[in-house]
Amino acid sequence: MPFPEEAAIVSGTGEWSVGRKAKLFKPARNQMQSGIHQTKHWEIRFESPRTWENPLMGWTSTADPYVGLTTRFDTKEAAEHFAKKQGWELEIAEPAPVGDYYGKISYSHNFLPEHIETLIKQKGKKSAVQFKHPTGRRSNWVKTLKYHGNGVVAQHGGEAKE
Q: Taking a C-beta distance cutoff of 8 angstroms, is the pair 86, 13 a contact?
A: yes
- 139 belongs to a structural domain: no
What is the C-alpha to C-alpha distance for residues 65 and 80, in angstroms, rounded to an integer? 21
Question: Any idea what the CATH number is for the domain that residue 17 is in?
Answer: 3.30.160
- 154 belongs to a structural domain: no
Amino acid, res. 154: A
- 73 belongs to a structural domain: yes
- 147 belongs to a structural domain: no
- 103 belongs to a structural domain: no
- 146 belongs to a structural domain: no
- Show the beta-strand stretches assigned E in the chain: 21-25, 42-46, 52-53, 60-61, 70-73, 89-93
* Per-residue CA distances from 44 to 64, 74, 92 (Å): 15, 12, 9
What average pLDDT does the chain have? Answer: 80
What's the average model confidence in pLDDT over 38-46?
Answer: 90
Domain containing 59 equals 4-93
pTM of the predicted model, to two decimals? 0.57
Helix (H, G, I), strand (E, B) or coil at 87: coil
pLDDT digits (tens, 9 = 90+) for 56-100: 888 988 888 888 888 999 999 999 999 998 888 999 999 888 778
pLDDT digits (tens, 9 = 90+) for 98-127: 778 777 777 877 888 888 888 888 888 777
Number of domains in the chain: 1
